[in-house]
Amino acid sequence: MAWKSKTRNLQVFDTELSADTVEWCPVPTSNNVLVCGTYQLQKGAGEEDATPSRVGRLYLFKLYEEASMSPPLTELQRIDTAAVLDLKWCHLPVSEKILLGMAAATGELQLYMLSDKQDGGPSLQSISSLEVGTERLALSLDWSTGRMDSSAVRVVCSDSSGCVSVLSLDDGALTSLSQWKAHDFEAWISAFSYWDTQVVYSGSDDCKLKGWDLRISPSCPTFVSKGHSMGVCSIHSNPHREHILATGSYDEHVLLWDGRNMRQPLSDTPMGGGVWRLKWHPTHQHLLLAACMHNDFHILHCQPALDGGGRCTVEASYKLHNSLAYGADWCHLPLESNVPCAPPAADLVESLTETTGHLRIQYESPTASFDTSLEDDVGRYIPESSAAPSGASDTTSATSSSGAAPSESHLLASCSFYDHTLHLWRWDRFQSDARHESRQT
């Protein structure tokens, strides 16, 4: 049996400011919660040499699976703040609190708590912040809880001065444990090894990937890799497979590593665009999501490389963004039985409701084979599967050519920068009999 796959757009949301990070909540009770962060550089008024300001906004959304007659994502809250460089949820509650960390352009690591409002809906409440340094930008963060281990919860943060900081939580407040100069240029990314949280990794504009052991002096890294030829901007430890690390770079390559041997990567996959973010699937050890800046979003099948003798392959791609592909994440909700879907076309006239914040966008493929709009002529949201013309069936259909239901479905969110859009989309995989299809053709 062979596998086929299709991607399908479900919703597009205008973030107004440039969008650079999206994160689904990994805590099971809130898997339907999504956050999105934005970053906007504003030139100073008056004098030409006035210092520009960096502003942003933090959005909170909830996914309503049963609301097939309106957009699946509903905005619950927006918080105007300093520009957001990175967002990460703690993977499990801490003292029964669901926590979100934010790396801000003010050089602060900010902490939010997800709580219920009086009307029963979730909201974000600021509870703590810590400045990692003056005149610098906090660029990334990661929690030590990737394997759902609640002991000694810590956060690692990197910044624009090349420093890496490790922080702890004390009664909900952030406390600095250590900070060191890790790189000569911007440290775009920092991450824990989820299997040994005394080990952290960092990547920088100096083209170096480094490892650090928190049990010894950080003045000396455990390794320095020059496997990437340009700045290293993405690192993610595989939470399902010990020793496995994925890294991405402006050099447009995704490298997989065995942490026990950092001299040579297990695999090297060219992506055709700078790899800004990498995310391992919440439950499948072999699936890796890549946000590739100038070349869209791609899902890599990594099993051959993990088995030690093959290459990663692109299993699916999402190409409906019109700008830099920056933020991407997998939804942790199981989608086998209940997924966001569109109503029958005949029901649209009576069932469509007014919505706000959704873009009217025309998508055109390089061959002009299809275009689709996500709003009708009066600005009301139309679920994509009902709005798409017949020419879009190859890229948007949720059923296989034989009419079979998907064998496996995944929900994802992604965002792009200059067109300031957040996309909700779905990836369906189908099993097909390759021998039967070859006889048909």
The stretch 155-159 carries a mean pLDDT of 98
- Most confident range (mean pLDDT) of 45-49, 81-85, 398-402 is 81-85
Class of domain 15-330: mainly beta
Residue 48 and residue 129 in contact, taking contact as beta carbons nearer than 8 Å: no
- Is residue 342 scored above 70 in pLDDT? no
Q: What is the DSSP string of 333-379?
A: S--SS----PPPGGGHHHH----SSB-------TT------SB-TTS
CA distance 25 to 104: 19
Q: pLDDT tens digits, residue range 212-228? A: 999 998 879 999 999 99
The confidence band for 433, taking pLDDT boundaries of 50, 70 and 90, is: low
Comparing 404 with 327, the larger pLDDT belongs to 327
CA–CA distance, 141 with 179 (Å, rounded to integer): 14
Reported confidence tier of residue 430, pLDDT bands at 50, 70, 90:
confident
Tens-place pLDDT, residues 279-337 = 999 999 999 999 999 999 999 999 999 998 788 999 999 999 999 999 999 999 987 54
Q: 54-77: per-residue pLDDT in tens? A: 999 999 999 987 755 468 999 999
Decide: 292 and 268 in contact? Cβ < 8 Å.
no
Residue ranges of the domains in the chain? 15-330, 345-440
pLDDT at site 401: 43
- On average, the pLDDT of the chain sits at 84
Please give the pLDDT value at position 374: 46
Range name among 148-152, 239-243, 257-261 with the lowest pLDDT average: 148-152
Q: Are 248 and 297 in contact (CB under 8 A)?
A: no
Mean pLDDT, range 114-143, rounded to an integer: 92
Separation between Cα atoms, residue 138 and residue 155, nearest integer Å? 13
Residues 6+ apart with CB under 8 A from 378: none
User: Please, what is the Cα angle at 188 between 321 and 140, to 5 degrees?
Assistant: 85
Of 206 and 151, the one with more pLDDT: 206
- Could you tell me if 2 and 408 are in contact, meaning their C-beta atoms sit under 8 angstroms apart? no
Counting residues of the chain whose pLDDT is more than 70, the rounded percentage is 78
Residue 116: band (very low, low, confident or very high) from pLDDT cuts 50, 70, 90: confident
Q: Is pLDDT larger for residue 14 or for residue 357?
A: 14
* pLDDT given for residue 49 in this prediction: 62
Question: Quick count: other Cβ atoms within 10 Å of Cβ 363?
Answer: 20
- Residue 146: its pLDDT value, please? 97
Amino acid 4: pLDDT: 86
Whether 393 shows a pLDDT value over 50: the answer reads no
Specify the pairing of strand 2-14 against strand 421-432.
antiparallel
**Can you tell me the mean pLDDT for 37-66?**
85
pLDDT of residue 406: 64
Model confidence at 46: pLDDT above 70: no
**Count of CB atoms within 10 A of residue 307's CB?**
10
- CA dist 375 and 39 (Å) reads 26
Please give the average per-residue pLDDT across 152-178, as a whole number: 95
